[in-house]
Amino acid sequence: MNRGGTLALVALLACCLGSSGIAHSQDILIRGAKVHTLTAKGTLERADVLVRGGRVVEVGSGLATAAGATVVEANGRPLTPGLFGGITGLGIVEIELESSTVDRSALVGDGASGPAFVPRPEFDVAPAFNPDSVSIGVNRIEGITFAMIAPNASGTLFAGQGAVARLDGSADPFVAASRTQFLDLGSSATAGVGYSRAAQFMLLEQAAREALPGKPLQAGDVRLLTPTGREVLARYLAGGRIAFAVDRAVDIRQVLDFAAKHGVRPVIIGGAQASQVAALLASSKVPVVLEPLLNLPGTFDQLGASMENASKLQRAGVPIMFSHFSSGTNTAHKVRQGAGVAVAHGLPWDAALAALTSTPADVFGLGAAAGRIMPGSPADLVLWSGDPLEVTTVAEQVWIGGRPQSMRSRQTELRDRYRPTGVAARPRSP
């Protein structure tokens, strides 16, 4: 750990802290890193990565230093793409138990007289996103550079729309192609959806029927959705991406049927029993976002939850990603530990890293070079003190779009204020 040192890192940090607004990123040469490319080239020992204009332009050995470039000596330390934080409330939840800081759900009802359940698939969390949220900084310095910012259904069926954000502190960090509609199925969806899985599918079919063009509603028809809701849902039904929060194998089958019928690209969120239907998921190329640490049945839908869920799905050819659902906002970074634990339980190391990088980039449409280190990749990179999946490893420097990110957060401020007297911090890279 902590091999090799570089003053360049310190210089970078200073540059970053001193800058304000969007600075034009300068060339960066990261030299002598163990580069996990997430491409067919695999892992390159002692390779150089040249970053220009916010993108990786070259990966190889003995790369020339452009004039004025910042050189970072990696000294063999691992370099990975930035990590995916999973399905989170980053930027829309500051403190879960302070409702005034939580913007994750739209529970819009008609009050006491009307139904509690007014599905609003048009709800979109983006306008609430706060790039200054303390949680973003805390997770970013752990190497989390992008995450799905997702609405929460809070017991209803339609949660609404989310999208992947790059956690670079900008006010509009969302990747347009990543927009996803979120639905909550199974035992967690209760309030206002009839307390029955069958009613969930009934309402889902009704909503889909309302949204389908060519089946105009007649005056006097009972409407589930608002006109905007119908428009928005129609977009997702025409080949859009819908994420279904669902655990039970039989419910996953229902979801796949629904998706096939309506031409939806489904993503399974949770999927505690997904490995039971691994072949089906693999053949329909449906990805799963799972909690790699889940091996106890939190609900009856999760019976059979197992540490081998990830490795079984991966072996079957199902694209997998990770999320730390139980505290997926403040502690989203725990996905990295979860990935390591999955490795200890049989998931190949490279597959675990892919689940944190290239797979989410692919699934959520971030572009073919995203989540990888290759020419054309966005320079969202993390230089690690050691094995990126190891719990004793820390991110030493994070770049997003080629810009070095401040490696300080509110937590490091508190740490430094209360550091025991007489104890000096170790140099970043002794």
Partner 1 sequence: MSWKSPGGAVLALVACSAIAATEPYPSTYRAKPGAPVLIRNATVLDGTGRRLDGADVLIRDGRIVGIGPGLERGDATEIDAQGRWVTPGLIDVHSHLGVYASPGVDATQDGNEATDPVTAGVWAEHSVWPQDPGFATALAGGVTTLQILPGSANLIGGRGVTLRNVPATTYQAMKFPEAPQGLKMACGENPKRVYGERDRAPSTRMGNVAGYRQAFADAQDYAQQWDKYQAELTAYEKKKGKDKDPAERPSPPKRDLRLDTLVAAMQGKVQVHIHCYRADEMAVMLDLAKEYGFKVAAFHHGVEAYKIADRLAQEGVCGALWADWWGFKLEAYDGIWENLAFVDAPPNGCAIVHSDSEEGIQRLNQEAAKAMSRGQRAGLDIPPERAIRWITSNAAKSLGIADRVGTLEPGKIADIVVWNRDPFSVYALPDLVYIDGALAFDRNHPPATPRSDFLLGQPGAAR
What residue ranges bind partner 1 (CB under 8 A)? 95-98, 134-135, 138, 249, 273, 276, 293-300, 302-304, 326-327, 329-331, 333-334, 337, 340-341, 343-344, 389-394, 411-412, 414-415, 418-420, 423-426
Minimum CB–partner distance for residue 106 and partner 1 (Å): 22
Tell me whether residue 15 or residue 303 sits nearer to partner 1 (CB atom). Answer: 303
Shortest Cβ 35–partner 1 spacing (Å) = 21
CA dihedral 231, 233, 237, 243 (to 10 degrees): 160
User: Which is closer to partner 1, CB of 178 or CB of 329?
Assistant: 329
Query: In this structure, how many other beta carbons lie within 10 angstroms of the beta carbon of residue 57?
Result: 17
Compute the least distance from the CB of residue 145 to partner 1, in Å. 19
Least distance between partner 1 and beta carbon 231 (Å): 36
Cβ closest to partner 1, residue 105 vs residue 161: 105
What's the closest the beta carbon of residue 108 comes to partner 1, in angstroms?
A: 23
Task: Indicate the residue among 29 and 389 with the shorter CB distance to partner 1.
Answer: 389
CA distance linking residue 304 with residue 297, whole number of Å = 7
- Comparing CB distances to partner 1, the nearer of 194 and 304 is 304
Shortest distance, position 216 Cβ to partner 1, whole Å? 43
The alpha carbon torsion through 311, 312, 314, 319 (nearest 10 deg) reads -120
In terms of CB distance, is 179 or 248 closer to partner 1? 248
Nearer to partner 1, 45 or 96 (CB): 96
| β 28-36/78-81 pair status | parallel
What minimum distance in Å lies between the beta carbon of 60 and partner 1?
31
What's the min distance (Å) between Cβ of 84 and partner 1?
18
Report the nearest approach of partner 1 to the CB of residue 48 (Å). Answer: 27
CB of 420 to partner 1, least distance (A): 5
d(CA 377, CA 150) in angstroms, rounded, equals 25
Closer residue to partner 1, CB minimum distance, 87 or 232: 87
- CA–CA distance, 116 with 297 (Å, rounded to integer): 29
* CB closer to partner 1 out of 29 and 343: 343
- Cα–Cα distance measured from residue 112 to residue 24, given in angstroms and rounded to the nearest whole number: 54
* Beta carbons of 282 and 288 less than 8 angstroms apart: no
Place of tokens 């971030």: 366
Q: Are 225 and 207 in contact (CB under 8 A)?
A: yes
Smallest gap from residue 99 Cβ to partner 1 (A): 11
Closer residue to partner 1 (CB): 104 or 241: 104
Q: Give 235 or 315: the residue with its C-beta nearer to partner 1.
A: 315
